[in-house]
Structure 1
Amino acid sequence: MEIKKPLLFVFIVTLLISPYSCKSVKGLDADGTVNENLTAKQIIKENQKQEARFKTLQCRLKIDYRQNEDSQGYTANLRMQKDEVIWLNATLGLARVMITPNKVQFYDKINNQYFEGDYALLSKLLGVELDFFKVQNMLLGEAIFGFDGNYESSVNENKYVLHPKEQSAVFELFYLLNPAYFKMDSQQFYQPLTKRILQVDYASYQEIDKQKVPLNMKIIAVEDTDELNIELEYKSVSLNEEVRFPFNIPSGFKEIKLDETD
C-alpha cells in the first residue's frame, strides 16, 4: 500500500472511504450501556436491523486531508444510487469520479488526464481487497466484509467488539459497535507482516428519514512510518430524491496507465 499518490488517488481514496454525514444535524445519543450477556450472534442480528435502506443519496462534502506534513482541503458533491453507482464531483467540475460494480472511472481537468480500470490497484493502495459492495458498506458505516463465518464477541471501553473466531495470520479484522444503536463505531484492519493499518472511525451518527447514518468520521491509513488522515464534514444530506450521474471523459485527455510501481 503506497500511500504517497497524486491527486487521482487522494480523490478516489477519499471517495472510497467516506460515508455520508451532516455536521449541522445533531448526532444521536451514544450513551448506551453494554449488555455483557449478549452473544456475538445477537449483536450481529441487532446490527443488521440497522442496515441503511434507501434508493438514492446526495450531499455536499468538505474533505480535510493530511499526510505527514502535507495538508490539503477539498469540496465536493457526493451522489449515490444504492447497489449501482457512487459519484463524486469536485468544485467547478475540476475532477470527477464514478464507480459501479464493474468499473472505477476518474478524470482530472487540472492535468487533462483520466483513468478507467477495476478495483485491483485501489485494493493494493489500501491494503484491503475491495469491490463495489465493500466500498458501499464502508460508505454506510456497515461491516465492510460482512459477517461470514463464526465471530466472537467481547466488551472494551463500553463497546461491543466482534472479530472472526479464527483470525488470519496475515490479516486481522475488528468491528467495534456502539451499544446505544448497534452501529459501527470503528472498523479496523491490520496486516502485521507488512505493518499496514486501515482504521475507519465513525465518531457519531444522525437519523435522516428514519435511517441511522454516519455523522462525523475519520480515516487513518498507516504503512510502516507513513500515515494518512482524512476528516470529513458533510452538509445538506438528502435521501430518495431524483439524482443524475453525468460522466463523460473530455476529448483529448491522456489516459493514466498504472502499474505495480505507481
Structure 2
Amino acid sequence: MSKRFPLAVFCAVALLSGCQRKLAPTAAPPVSTKAPETVKATNVEFRYLKAKGKVNIDVPGLQQAANLNVRIRKDSVIWLSASLGIEGFRAYITRDSVKVLFPLQRQYYVGDYAYLSQLLNVPVTFERVQALLLGDYLPASPPNVQPTVSTEGDQQRVQYEQQGILVQQLIDLPKKRVQQLNVQEQATQNTLNIEYTDFQPLEPRNQLFGHTTTLKTTQKGAPATVVVTYRNVDLDKERLSFPFSVPKGYARKK
C-alpha cells in the first residue's frame, strides 16, 4: 500500500477546499428584488458512522485496489484504514490534527492542516474531508457569497465562483442529495469531479447514502481516479472506538 493513496485523497480535498480562499474586498453587489431559490439538498444526520468497502486507485505510478474501513464521529473524528491483507495505512483526523501510520514503511506523520495546506497550496479542512466522504452539500464560504441556483426537471444546479474557483453541485431533487460535484480552478485548469451513485436508504431513518463514490482529479495535467464502493454502511448502531497509536521504532515522516 503506497503512501500516495492518502495523499491522492487529500489532493482531491485540497482542490475542493480551494473555494475557501479569502476574497479581496469588493464593492457590495446590487440588491436583487427577486428571492433566491432555496437549495433543496439534505445532509446525512448521525452521531456515529461505520462503513466497509473497496477502494480502487489509479494515479500516476500507482494502480491498486484495497479494502477500506471508515469510521466517523460527526464533526469530531474521521478514522480511515486501508489494507491488502496487511494494513497499508491508518489515519486519525480531527479538527486540529492529522495523524497517519504507514505500517509497511514503519513510518508515521503527525501534524496539523497547515502542513497539508502548504504542501498542496490550498486550504485543507476537517469539514471538507468529512463532506467529501459523506457526499454532503457544500455551502459557499464565506456564507455571504450568493450562489446561482436553477432547476431543470428533477435536477437542481447550484453554482458559485470565488477567486478563480468555480464550484458546481448537481442535486437530485427526488433524493434531495448531491449527485455530482464539479470544481475547476481557472488559472491552473486543475479540476475535481465527484459523482455519487447507488443511493440506498440507511436505518434507522431511511436517509439516502451514495454507496459508490467516483472521484476524478487533474492536477498539473496529471489525471487521477479514486473509486470507493461501500458494501456496508451503518449509522448509530454502536458507540465506535478510533484506535490509533504509534508503535515503538516507527520513524516520524518529515
TM-score (norm 2): 0.79
Give 3-state SS (helix, strand or coil) of 1:129's partner: coil
Q: Is the 8 A contact 2:190 2:221 kept in 1?
A: no
Residue 94 of structure 2 aligns with which residue?
100
- Structure 2: distance between partners of 1:98 and 1:157: 41
Preserved CA contact (<8 Å) 1:40 1:162:
no
**Are positions 1:200 and 2:194 aligned together?**
yes
Give identity over the alignment, percent. 23
Aligned residues between the structures: 226
RMSD of aligned alpha carbons: 2.6
Q: CA distance change for structure 1 residues 215 and 94 in 2, over 3 Å: closer, same or farther? A: closer
* Structure 1 pair 67–96 and aligned structure 2 pair: CA distance change class (3 A): same
Could you tell me which amino acid in structure 1 is paired with residue 178 of structure 2?
Answer: M
The equivalent of 2:75 in structure 1 is 83
2:5 alignment partner AA: V
Residue type of the alignment partner of 2:75: D
Could you list the runs of 4 or more consecutive aligned residues of structure 1 that deviate by over 6 angstroms after TM superposition?
Answer: 15-18
* Corresponding residue of 1:227: 223
Q: 1:145 to 1:126 in 2, by over 3 A?
A: farther
| 8 Å CA contact retained: 1:199, 1:220 | yes
Against the structure 1 CA distance between its residues 120 and 113, is the aligned structure 2 distance closer, same or farther, given a 3 Å change threshold?
Answer: same
Contact 1:16 1:135 (C-alpha < 8 Å) held by counterparts: no
Q: Is the 8 A contact 2:12 2:192 kept in 1?
A: no
Post-superposition offset of 1:169: 4.3
Indicate if the aligned counterparts of 1:161 and 1:177 stay in contact, CA closer than 8 A: yes
Highest relative contact order (Cα 8 Å, sep 6+), 1 or 2?
Answer: 1
Change in CA separation of 1:61 and 1:193 when aligned onto 2, cut-off 3 Å: same
- Structure 2 Cα separation of the partners of residues 156 and 8 of structure 1: 42
Gaps of 5+ in 2: 14-34
Q: What is the SS of the residue equivalent to 2:3?
A: helix
* Distance (whole Å) between structure 2 residues aligned to residue 12 and residue 225 of structure 1: 17
Unaligned runs of 5+ in 1: 1-5, 19-38, 258-262
Counterpart selection for 1:52 from 39, 44, 48? 44
Q: What is residue 17 of structure 2 aligned with on the other side?
A: none
Q: Does 1:7 align with 2:2?
A: yes
Q: Deviations over 1:214-255 (max 9, x none)?
A: 221100110242000011111222111221111001111111
Is 1:189 aligned to 2:186, yes or no?
no
Structure with more of its chain in strand, by fraction? 2
Taking a change above 3 Å as real, the CA distance of residues 168 and 203 of structure 1, as seen in their structure-2 partners, is same
Q: Which amino acid aligns with 1:226?
A: A
TM-score, normalization by structure 1: 0.77
- Going from structure 1 to structure 2, the CA distance change for 1:159 and 1:129 (only over 3 Å counts) comes to farther
TM-aligned CA distance change 1:69 to 1:90, over 3 Å: closer
Deviations 1:56-101 (A, max 9, x none): 1112121001125741111122111111111012334342111000
Match of 2:247 in 1: 250
